[in-house]
C-alpha cells in the first residue's frame, strides 16, 4: 500500500510543526514553573486514566465485540480492510447502539486499540456493504497514522488559531483516504458519506456528484470562516475529495483567514464560541500554574538581593565588632561610643553605625532593612550574631551569622 496516496498532503507538515511547537511549550512550561507543570500534568494523567478506563469498561460491558463467531460479516470487513492497509493486527472491534447517531469512532487505552461502529450507520448501509468498509477504513486510518498517540505532546498548541483546526481537518482528510482505500470503488465511499448528509434512508436517492458541487457555492466569507475554525472539512468537500482526490477543491475566501486568526481552536465539536471558552480556560490554567511560580521566583530573587546587601554590611562591620569586643574584654564595660572603642562610626561607603550602649549592639541601615549585630558571651569570649528588624529582612540574614546560638546577652553590669 502506497503510504503517500493515503496521506493528505498537508498532514505531515502540520503534524511536525505542532509536535515541535508542543514539545517546546512543554519545556518552557516545565522550566517556567520550576517543574510544577509536571505535577499538574500528573494529575491530568490520573484523571485521564480514571475516565478512559471507565469508558473502556463501559464499552466492553455494553457493546457487542465482533469476531469470527459474533457477526462474522462485519468482522470479516475489519480483517479485509486491515489487510488492504497493511495492518497485521486487527484491533478490538465492536458494534454499539448509538441512539440514532450515524457514525463510528476509534479510541486507545494503554496500547490497546478499539474501533466502534454505531449500529445506526451499519443498519443504514445494510444494502451497501462497501460503505461500511469506508467507515471501518476511516477509523483504522486514525490508528494506522497514530493520531491518538501524539495528542499529549501537541496538547499545549492544538488550541492555536488556524493551526489546531487545520491539523484536525488534515487528519480527517487522511482518514477519508484510508476509508476510500478499503472500498471497492470511489462512489461507494461517496455514498457512505451521504448517510451523514441525508440520513439513513434518503441517502439512497441523493446524488453524490451534485452534493459535492455544493462546495463551489459554499465558499463565501462566513462559510470559509466557520470551516477554518472547525476540525472537520465541510461534508460536501469530503465527498468531493473521496470521489477525486487529485481534483482541486474550491478555495476559501482569503479574508476569512484574518478573522479566524483570532479564534482559538476548541476541538472538533467546539466551534468559535467554545474556542473562546477553551482559550479562557487555557489562560486560567496557565495563570494558576505560572503566577504562583513567578511570585515565588521574584520573592527568592528579592531575598537573594537582600542577603547580598546584608552580608556586605556584616562583613564591613567586622572591624567595629572586633574593636568593641577588645574594649569590653579590656575594660569589662561597654564603651560610651564607637569612637571610644577606637572604631569609626560609619562604614567606608558612608553608612552610619549606631551603638546601643546598654547591650553593645551595633545597628546599620541597609537597602534590605536594618541589620543588628548583637554580641553574646560564649565561654568567656565575645561572639556576635545578626538579627533583623522585620521577618522579611530576617529571611535574608547571612547564614554565617544567624545560625550561631546566642548565649548570655550583653548589657550594662552583666559582669
Same domain, 314 and 242: no
Same domain, 319 and 197: no
In the three-class reduction of DSSP (H, G, I as helix; E, B as strand; rest coil), residue 363 is classed as strand
Same domain, 50 and 190: yes
Query: Is the residue at 290 inside a domain?
Result: no
Residue 274: the pLDDT is 47
Tell which residue, 238, 18, 220, has the closest CA to residue 134.
Answer: 238
**Half-sphere exposure (Cβ direction) of 308: Cα atoms closer than 13 Å:** 5
The residue from 246, 269, 294 where one domain ends is 246
Q: How far is CA 86 from CA 32, 83, 230, in A?
A: 44, 5, 31
Query: Is the residue at 153 inside a domain?
Result: yes
| Structural domain count, the chain | 2
C-alpha span between 373 and 401 (Å, rounded): 9
Q: Return the residue matching grid coordinates 477543491.
A: 249
pLDDT digit string (tens) for the chain, length 415 residues: 556 789 998 999 999 999 999 999 989 888 887 777 788 888 888 988 999 999 999 999 999 999 999 999 999 999 999 999 999 999 999 999 988 888 899 999 998 999 999 999 999 999 899 999 999 999 999 999 999 988 888 988 998 999 999 999 999 999 999 999 999 888 999 999 999 999 999 999 999 999 999 999 998 999 999 999 999 999 999 999 999 988 888 899 999 999 999 998 877 544 444 455 555 555 666 666 666 767 777 888 888 888 888 888 898 889 999 999 899 988 888 998 889 888 888 888 888 999 998 889 999 998 888 899 999 887 778 889 998 888 878 888 888 787 554 444 444 434 3
Query: Is the residue at 16 inside a domain?
Result: yes
The residue from 246, 268, 296 where one domain ends is 246
Q: Is the pTM of this model over 0.75?
A: no
Query: Is the residue at 252 inside a domain?
Result: no
The range of the structural domain enclosing residue 381 comes to: 309-409
The residue from 246, 267, 294 where one domain ends is 246
**Do residues 135 and 182 make contact, with C-beta atoms less than 8 angstroms apart?**
no
Same domain, 203 and 337: no
Query: Is the residue at 314 inside a domain?
Result: yes
CATH of the domain at 387: 3.30.700.10
Query: Is the residue at 268 inside a domain?
Result: no
* Residues sharing a CB contact under 8 Å with residue 290, sequence separation 6 or more, in sequence order: 29, 32, 33
Query: Is the residue at 297 inside a domain?
Result: no
CA 259 to chain centre: 25
Amino acid at each position: 500500500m502506497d503510504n503517500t496516496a493515503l496521506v493528505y498532503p498537508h498532514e505531515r507538515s502540520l503534524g511536525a510543526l505542532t509536535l515541535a511547537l508542543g514539545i517546546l511549550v512543554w519545556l518552557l512550561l516545565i522550566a517556567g514553573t520550576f517543574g510544577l507543570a509536571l505535577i499538574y500534568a500528573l494529575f491530568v494523567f490520573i484523571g485521564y486514566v480514571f475516565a478512559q478506563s471507565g469508558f473502556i469498561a463501559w464499552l466492553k460491558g455494553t457493546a457487542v465485540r465482533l469476531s469470527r463467531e459474533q457477526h462474522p460479516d462485519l468482522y470479516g470487513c475489519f480483517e479485509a480492510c486491515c489487510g488492504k492497509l497493511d495492518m497485521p493486527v486487527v484491533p478490538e472491534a465492536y458494534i454499539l447502539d448509538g441512539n440514532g447517531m450515524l457514525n463510528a469512532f476509534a479510541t486507545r487505552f494503554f496500547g490497546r486499540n478499539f474501533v466502534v461502529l454505531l449500529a445506526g450507520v451499519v443498519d443504514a448501509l445494510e444494502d451497501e456493504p462497501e460503505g461500511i468498509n469506508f467507515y471501518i477504513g476511516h477509523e483504522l486510518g486514525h490508528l494506522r497514522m497514530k493520531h491518538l498517540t501524539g495528542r499529549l505532546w501537541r496538547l499545549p498548541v492544538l488550541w492555536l488559531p488556524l493551526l489546531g483546526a487545520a491539523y484536525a481537518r488534515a487528519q480527517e482528510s487522511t482518514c477519508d483516504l484510508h476509508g476510500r482505500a478499503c472500498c471497492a470503488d470511489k462512489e461507494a465511499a461517496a455514498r457512505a458519506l451521504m448517510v451523514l448528509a441525508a440520513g439513513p434512508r434518503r441517502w439512497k436517492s441523493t446524488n453524490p456528484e451534485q452534493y459535492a458541487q455544493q462546495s463551489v457555492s459554499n465558499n463565501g466569507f462566513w462559510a470559509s470562516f466557520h470551516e477554518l475554525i472547525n476540525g472537520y472539512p465541510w461534508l460536501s468537500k469530503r465527498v468531493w475529495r473521496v470521489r477525486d482526490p487529485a481534483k482541486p477543491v474550491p478555495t476559501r475566501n482569503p479574508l476569512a483567514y484574518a478573522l479566524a486568526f483570532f479564534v482559538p481552536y476548541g476541538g472538533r465539536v467546539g466551534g468559535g464560541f467554545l474556542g473562546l471558552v477553551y482559550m479562557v480556560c487555557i489562560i486560567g490554567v496557565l495563570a494558576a500554574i505560572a503566577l504562583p511560580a513567578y511570585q515565588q521566583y521574584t520573592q527568592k530573587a528579592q531575598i537573594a538581593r537582600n542577603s547580598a546587601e546584608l552580608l556586605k554590611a556584616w562583613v564591613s562591620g567586622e572591624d567595629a565588632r572586633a574593636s568593641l569586643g577588645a574594649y569590653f574584654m579590656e575594660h569589662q564595660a561597654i564603651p560610651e561610643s564607637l569612637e571610644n572603642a577606637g572604631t569609626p562610626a560609619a562604614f567606608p561607603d558612608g553608612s552610619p553605625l549606631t551603638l546601643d550602649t546598654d547591650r553593645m549592639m551595633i545597628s546599620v541601615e541597609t537597602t534590605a532593612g536594618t541589620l543588628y549585630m548583637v554580641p553574646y558571651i560564649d565561654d568567656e569570649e565575645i561572639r556576635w550574631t545578626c538579627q533583623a528588624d522585620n521577618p522579611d529582612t530576617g529571611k535574608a540574614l547571612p547564614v554565617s551569622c544567624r545560625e550561631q546560638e546566642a548565649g548570655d546577652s550583653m548589657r550594662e553590669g552583666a559582669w
